[in-house]
Amino acid sequence: MLARRHLRPRFNRQRLELPDGDFLDLDWTGPEDSGRPLVLVLHGLEGSSQSHYVRGLCSVLSNASFRSCVMHYRGCSGDINRLPRTYHAGETGDPDFVIGWLRHHYPGVALFAVGFSLGGNMLLKLLGEQAGSCVLSGAAAVSVPFDLASCAERLEKGTSRIYQHWLVSAMKKTARQKATQYPGRLDINRLLETTTFREFDELGTAPLHGFAGARDYYAKDSCRQYLPQITTRTLIVQSHDDPFIEAVQIPKEQELGPGVHLELAARGGHLGFVTGPLPGCTEYWLERRLTVFFTHLTGEFN
């Protein structure tokens, strides 16, 4: 079995100009046939097409004759974006624009989307906002932070603080770039002293994106409140041992919209989902599960 570190799909980059004067970078991989089913991939916080979970999924999808399009959030492709803003967990305008662009340019294909972690929250919020008007043939979300405030609190406890430290440090690098690009838009000295998501979001994410503060951001952007409205065929994959998410955060069946199916794994961590006894013999089963799901829906679409 192939470990994810060996999966190196070859991506072709396309820059998509946005109506507000900014841009998004899309990385494409898979069969050259533009008539093949297409999956839009939304990565996690500070991720990219080079994130291990993205490479793994795109490789398996390619082997199954799917095309993949990885949407980099503003500032995540390696090139800093033009505007003062970047991205946040409830940013649905950008993926909505890309989905519309893909549907316009590939009108006859089965079009799917998958979101990982922050990207999962983003996608589920979008599906709930659009309810029955969504043009996607199906969707999937993995390791979703359903309640952002609760996740921020969880990451301040125990070994979860290791993940928090790594991610907040990565976010500070982006903040430094923005402070240089737009002097005075951020209190960069205070921002660089933050140690938690809540502190960073209060001083960075919220003021850059028009929120009153971290509490306002978490309340408005958490996807859990949008789940009942989802009618698009959607698979959510979560694990009981996710260090980002308390078990109480996982939504109950009655909270899910008519199109949603939730699968809970006993183990999987955050974007892990590994099986196999020894290093080198492990397999990331998530990619196969998502590919089977999209393959099944493609049959229904056709």
Q: Could you list the active site residues?
A: 117, 242, 270
Q: Which residues pair with 28 in a beta bridge?
A: 12, 69
Dihedral Cα 123, 126, 130, 134, nearest 10 deg: -30
